[in-house]
Amino acid sequence: MPIDNKHATWGGRFSAQPDALMQVFGESVSFDKRLAPYDLKGSLGHATMLAHVGLLSSEEFAEIKQGITELEEEVLSNDFPWKLELEDVHMNLEQALGKKTKAADKLHSGRSRNDQVATDMRLFFKDACASLQISLEGTMQALLLIAEKYSELPIPGYTHLQRAQPVTVGHHLLAYIEALGRDHERFSVVGKHANVCPLGSGAIAGSTLPLDREFTAKILGFVDAEGNACMTPNGMDAVADRDLFLEFASACSLTALHLSRLSEDIILWNSTEFGFVSLPDSFTTGSSLMPQKKNPDCYELVRGKTGRIVGNLTNLLVTVKGLPLTYNRDLQEDKPPVFDSYDQLSICLAVVKNCMEGTDFIEEKCIAAASDPLLLATDLADFLVCKGVPFRQAHHVVGELVGYAESQKISLSEISDENAMAISEHLTGDWRGVFDLKRAFASREKPGMPGPGQISSRITHWKSVLTV
């Protein structure tokens, strides 16, 4: 006996219903129902094409269009009755449309769930990339405001978490703005790669029906800057490859990594040992035991969620690596990591933005830390180089000076001229002038350096970019 009509979309071949366990195991509607707006949009585009080529009458198309409009309203109002036994978002919507019009039976002509879901996901990626770019711009603007406010406030720059050379808050935060700017570009690339219509690929080899792929692509907005239709050139690749998913997950991971590194900096700066920043109370938490605590939880969670987002990329890579062409059911599992990466990155960007807007730098602490003469030991080596001393020799001389100062428990700048000359005869003149921070920054006006002019230039650049 054939199975009942609720499985009519694929059940003609089968004489038994799916096992109840298989229904639970195989369903995806619990997570892919968020694709409903895109699935309905794709179905309307496909129906429009079918009417265009004469495979739907005008009356049938009108009924399908009206039914899709009603379903859109149900989905948006959360009134749609999702059924796990109907497996996925596509079968749920198809069956619901079938209850509204018999013409729905013709809607799947020339279409497979394979190219259907590929289309849904490309529409999703286009929107997701645009949304994340807007969020990135907001976070970058928040960082830019702080960078401008404290553009000349000196702080130590670190390597190996050891004080290295003085930079400014502006220079440090601009480093993250530059990185997030590249992330923004990466989502542009992903969005461009998503802008290719798979409909018409069918399950693997297209269809013998008179489909108009170019028409469908234009209807659904898969067009280039000149309005030309953008279509997948190979049906097998269109339905089977998941490099777009991987690109998106990778772009999310790289963005999250940058947010995580920024978070780590702020967590360190917020500690008593550093004391460089004060975070807003609204984005910090206390302790259930220790009443004095003010914990940077929001940034710690960004670090933690970054691990989750990177894990999603790894998930996808491992899932895809061993699959033959074309579609395999393993690929059902490609959506949860993508959706999760999008959701988690979106909230991370919002949290960093909002927290940064309420962050203040404690200027006296920053200046005190940056005023350590050891931070300008390299500048002293450069001073000797300008006197003709080879850099390696100059490096050795300054190392000796540092060792001597440590042995005497004095600052590098407190070494007497006599003792300095005993180490190098070239330490004449105003060698202590090297330790003046304003001079140090004024000497760094080449591109990429933390000189005031360079920082001001990059701030102006990013202001113009982010306000376009």
- What is the C-alpha separation between 385 and 396, in angstroms, rounded? 12
Q: Which helix (H) or strand (E) holds 227?
A: none
- What is the C-alpha separation between 335 and 1, in angstroms, rounded? 35
Helix, strand, or coil (residue 242):
coil
Query: Are the beta carbons of 145 and 111 closer than 8 angstroms?
Result: no
Query: Are the beta carbons of 420 and 383 closer than 8 angstroms?
Result: no
Q: Burial of 404 by CB count in 10 Å (0-12 exposed, 13-18 middle, 19+ buried)? A: middle
Q: Based on the residue annotation, tell me whether 160 is a catalytic residue of this protein.
A: yes
Q: Please name every residue paired with 383 in a beta bridge, in sequence order, or none if there are none.
A: none
Query: Are the beta carbons of 353 and 271 closer than 8 angstroms?
Result: no
- What is the C-alpha separation between 229 and 195, in angstroms, rounded? 10
Q: Which of 58, 77, 160, 282 is catalytic?
A: 160
Q: Based on the residue annotation, tell me whether 287 is a catalytic residue of this protein.
A: yes
- What is the C-alpha separation between 242 and 331, in angstroms, rounded? 8
Question: At which residue do the structure tokens 């988690």 appear?
Answer: 344
Closest by CA to 180, choosing from 260, 295, 288, is 260
Q: Which of 30, 188, 271, 287 is catalytic?
A: 287
Q: Which residues are catalytic?
A: 160, 287
